[in-house]
Amino acid sequence: MSVLSILVFLPLLAGLVVIMLPTAQQGRYKYIALGATLLQLLLSAFVYINFKTGADFSGVHQRRQFQFVEQTSWINLDLGTLGRLQIDYFMGVDGLSMPFLFLTSLVMFVAVLASWEIKTNLKGYFALFLLLDMAIIGVFVALDFFLFYLFYELMLFPLYFLIGMWGGVRREYAAIKFFLYTLCGSVFMLLIIIGLYFSVTDPLSGSHTFNMIHMMDPANYVGGSIFSPSAGQQLFGISARLLAFIVLFIAFAIKVPIVPLHTWLPDAHVEAPTPVSIILAGILLKIGGYGILRICYSIFPEAAIDSSWCIGLIGVVSIIYGALNALAQTDLKRLIAYSSVSHMGFVLLGFASLTAEGISGANMQMISHGFLSAMLFFLAGVIYNRVHDREIANFRGLSLLMPKFTAFCMVAFFASLGLPGFSAFMGESFSLIGAFTSESVNGLIPRWMAIGGSLGILLSAAYFLWTFQRMFFGELRLMGGEDWRIQLTDVNTREKIALIPLALMATLLGLFPALVFEKMNSSVLELIRLVNP
């Protein structure tokens, strides 16, 4: 039992405790969850500190270079003539996944703090919450595709109930939309997984395998199998590998999300209770990005190169389209949701460039957005909790009433709009720099995409500043009159405990981006070598 397993199953254990405890004790559930996530945070900090960097620990497609590895045979069935069914319990981290462990733990911790607002059916809520926690960590550490898929699908189930049962007015609509949308992507993913399984063999045992790392090595493919790089099989008139890449990409891209597959996101974010919004924006979107790097790019490198122009274009379109939509929103949560679409566009743009700066920048952007969007949703939740309204136009001059809240909002807004000194600036500027250099380094995406993407920075300044001006400045004027004035109290200690670490991380990473860049640098370089030798 190594640290990763503990990290994964600790929330499950806590969830079991929650289920075991009688309902009379339900006041303690949140403390159990809080304790579990705090422990998880410490463990992932331990992983972060003990994570070794350097060319010998780059990972990606080198089994030996992964760290904290656990591998035991899990399912090993003799199927007679069909060979052996071999599924491993295989976990490990490299520079690509390790930062996300820390991100997940911190965001989960904050989400628990935001869960104080949940008042009904606490047992169900916290049990599902902790199950979700387990699944997310599992996705980031799994190196066996079957295990990955298992965790990936396992995420959906608690999320569906969390949105559908504890959400807002249109929660059922949002929940079913979210569920079906994501499922739609992942069902086809299953087909590809099966196809890959029959194409790849374990070089040691000779039997078929779900091991992702084996899938990244062209030598392990069975000659003539459907996804064999040398066989060049065709499906529906296009290369089977390209098709597989596209299917997997769409599956993950729904999560990211990209325009035009993004419409589940505003609904789900708006209807979900605050902690679930935090998890959705803070972590779930990053699973999409992580999956694209870990699976799409690593297993189908040549398809990634072929389609990078399209991915870059999708990125630019998402940036600008998301920003324009954000500008038109009147609901605070919807605005943040669309700003997420815009910010995640930078991630795709960075990926498409396939340069070290671009991919590092994209990863930085994901981590930074994880902290910042969690913070933004938390802040939106603060207001919603107090007066159950989120219409921007209904608030004015809040800075007079809630100065501390305003200060936090200011940090979150300005950090999100890419003010230097905060992490989002590093993420965005390096994604753009990567996209810009791509033309002279590998010629994958043209320079105008970087210039187009930088327009998003301008637009994000416009919508954030405009919102800030409308809600916080001017004379105090509230829709709900005197009632609201009493209800809108400034942030309390619990909320500060949640907000300060997020603000701190955003600043820390903005001033010392080496904290992330150096940890992942060798992995990123290795990935680029793998994809574009």
Partner 1 sequence: MPLISFVWVSTLAKRGSGISILSILCSLILSAIVFTRVWNGQPQHFQVHWFSVGSYHLTAGILLNNLSAGMILLVSGVAFIVHLYSIQYMRSDPYLRRYWRYLSLFCFSMMALVVVDNLLVLYMFWELVGFTSYLLIGFWYKRDYAVQAAKKAFIFNRIGDLGFLAGIMILLNQFGTLNITELFGDGGAISNAMIEDGVWISGTHQMPAVWLTLAGGAFFFGAIAKSAQFPLHAWLPDAMAGPTSVSSLIHAATMVAAGIFLIARIYPIFDQNILMLMVITGSITSFMAATIALVQNDLKQILAFSTISQLGFMMLAMGIGAYDAALFHLTTHAFFKCLLFLCAGAVIHQLEYFKQAAKIEFDCQDIRNMGGLKNYMPITFTAMLFASMALAGLPFTSGYLSKDSILLYSFDWASSQTGLMSLVPYLAVLTSLATTFYIARLIFKVFFGSFRQKQRIPVLEPPSIMKVSLMLLVLFCVFPMFSWNPFSVENSWILKGFSADVQVLSQSRLLHILVPLLVTFVSFALIYLASIVYSKRDGDGSVTQVARDSFIYELFYHQWFINKLYNVIFVIPLMYLSRVSSILDNKIVDGLVNGAGRSVLFLGALSTFVDRYIIDGIVNLLGSISKSIGNVTRHFQSGRVQHYMITMILLLLTFFIFKYFS
Residues near partner 1, by CB under 8 A: 177, 180-181, 259-260, 262-264, 321, 324-325, 327-329, 355-357, 360-361, 397, 399-400, 414, 419-421, 425, 429-430, 432-433, 436-437, 440, 450-451, 454-455, 457-458, 461-462, 465-466, 469, 472-475, 512-514, 517-518, 521, 524-525
> Based on CB atoms, which residue is closest to partner 1, 238 or 465?
465
> Based on CB atoms, which residue is closest to partner 1, 137 or 362?
362
**Least CB distance from residue 411 to partner 1, whole Å?**
11
> Based on CB atoms, which residue is closest to partner 1, 128 or 323?
323
> Based on CB atoms, which residue is closest to partner 1, 88 or 94?
94
> Based on CB atoms, which residue is closest to partner 1, 100 or 517?
517
Q: Are 209 and 86 in contact (CB under 8 A)?
A: yes
Which stretches of 59-158 are assigned E, i.e. beta strand?
Answer: 67-78, 84-93
Listed residue (189, 231, 230, 229) closest to 210, CA to CA: 189
**Least CB distance from residue 76 to partner 1, whole Å?**
39
**Least CB distance from residue 126 to partner 1, whole Å?**
31
Cis check: omega of the bond before 275, within 30 degrees of 0: no
Report which DSSP code applies to 282.
Answer: I
**Least CB distance from residue 448 to partner 1, whole Å?**
11
> Based on CB atoms, which residue is closest to partner 1, 150 or 511?
511
Rg from Cα positions in the chain: 23
> Based on CB atoms, which residue is closest to partner 1, 151 or 179?
179
Angle, helix 145-166 to helix 122-141, in steps of 10 degrees: 150
Q: Token digits for 366?
A: 């994901």
> Based on CB atoms, which residue is closest to partner 1, 370 or 513?
513
**Least CB distance from residue 225 to partner 1, whole Å?**
34
**Least CB distance from residue 235 to partner 1, whole Å?**
24
DSSP-based three-state secondary structure for 474: coil
Report which DSSP code applies to 490.
Answer: P
Listed residue (8, 273, 247, 318) closest to 121, CA to CA: 273
> Based on CB atoms, which residue is closest to partner 1, 116 or 188?
188
Residues constituting the chain? 533
**Least CB distance from residue 397 to partner 1, whole Å?**
7
> Based on CB atoms, which residue is closest to partner 1, 216 or 337?
337
Report which DSSP code applies to 272.
Answer: S
Q: Token digits for 487?
A: 């209800």
Cis check: omega of the bond before 257, within 30 degrees of 0: yes
Listed residue (294, 264, 260) closest to 280, CA to CA: 264
Could you give the CA distance from residue 290 to residue 284 in angstroms, rounded to a whole number? 10
Q: Token digits for 43?
A: 């463990």
Q: Are 12 and 136 in contact (CB under 8 A)?
A: no
Could you give the CA distance from residue 339 to residue 227 in angstroms, rounded to a whole number? 37
**Least CB distance from residue 250 to partner 1, whole Å?**
14
Give 76's strand partners.
Answer: 86
Contacts of 478 (CB under 8 A, 6+ apart): 394, 395, 396, 484, 485, 488
**Least CB distance from residue 449 to partner 1, whole Å?**
12
> Based on CB atoms, which residue is closest to partner 1, 211 or 325?
325
**Least CB distance from residue 432 to partner 1, whole Å?**
6
> Based on CB atoms, which residue is closest to partner 1, 30 or 177?
177
Element containing residue 496 per DSSP (H, E)? helix 493-511
**Least CB distance from residue 326 to partner 1, whole Å?**
8
Could you give the CA distance from residue 216 to residue 247 in angstroms, rounded to a whole number? 17
Task: Look at the block and give the residue holding tokens 């520079």.
Answer: 95
Burial pattern 137-147, b for ≥16 Cβ within 10 A else e, equals bbbbbbbbbbb
DSSP-based three-state secondary structure for 98: helix
**Least CB distance from residue 298 to partner 1, whole Å?**
18
Which stretches of 192-350 are assigned E, i.e. beta strand?
Answer: 234-235, 238-239
